[in-house]
A and B are shown apart, each in its own frame.
Chain A
């Protein structure tokens, strides 16, 4: 296979990982919202934790993004 084509295909495959991170972030906020609607008075105190969890889930998607960026711009 042409190495340039393989590079672009690899970057595209790495981008799938960001979709997986999107699922994780969606799960966190979906569950936060369903919990907050059941008990609205407790939601304010857990708002920060929802964001910490979302940031951590997003962090793993960032690794996928890094792999894509490294493939596209750093690998020759």
Chain B
């Protein structure tokens, strides 16, 4: 409450502002700051991948080493989690991982907008993943895909409950997958802003302004933690995508 009274609003950073107004047939398709940063993220990933592979040295340059590291990291994750058959989804998982990672990292730059702090963006990703799982599962295995909900070796008396629990956990997946990423980004950025508010408030508090560097140090430590969280959440998103895709490729436990 004190922060609000001094005009420091930690939620303000998540506002969507229209940069160019654009209405197509009653649909608001304006170019917003979220669209701008999605474009920035896309250009950054494209620049990294294109520039790093244009030279193709045997002894990689720094940029090429970074791109190769990201590629091999995701490739080994997909292969370990979803098997050789899962490698056909590697481009999908790699694109998701790089987009989420770059959105998180670019969002950490002061003043930048974090695309993944919007639930609509992360839920669109999660819906894409779960939609892929359902469509590929039924396409590949037909009705056998439903064996996903019926684990083998369960006592018949317990089976209805187990099936119910499996169905609930499957339905909850898009919610947890999207809200995990969104909540981590939202909470981290609010915490950074609140600590920034502490500095500003202490500077205006007369003699107490001598302790204002303390929250500033806190911001430095929190930024380091957020850097870890940014990478970790991208990794968790990618590995859970692989686990869910593995269910579509190999249903039935």
Contact = CB atoms under 8 A, between A and B. Distances in A.
Interface of A: 48, 51-52, 54-55, 58-59, 62-63, 65-66
A66 B180 CA distance: 10
B239 A59 contact: no
A68 to B, nearest CB: 10
> Chain A at the B interface: mostly helix, strand, loop or mixed?
helix
B239 A51 contact: yes
Contact of A51 (B175, B183, B235): B235
- Interface size bracket, B side: 10 to 19
A63 B177 CA distance: 11
Interface string B72-83: 000001001100
A4 to B, nearest CB: 14
Contacts of B172: 59, 63
Nearest to A55: B236
A12 B46 CA distance: 43
B62 to A, nearest CB: 25
Interface string B140-181: 000000000000000000000000000000001001100110
Given A55-B236, A55-B240, A59-B172, A48 B180 contact: no
12 contacts: A48-B80, A51-B232, A51-B239, A52-B239, A55-B180, A55-B236, A55-B239, A59-B172, A62-B175, A62-B183, A63-B176, A66-B179
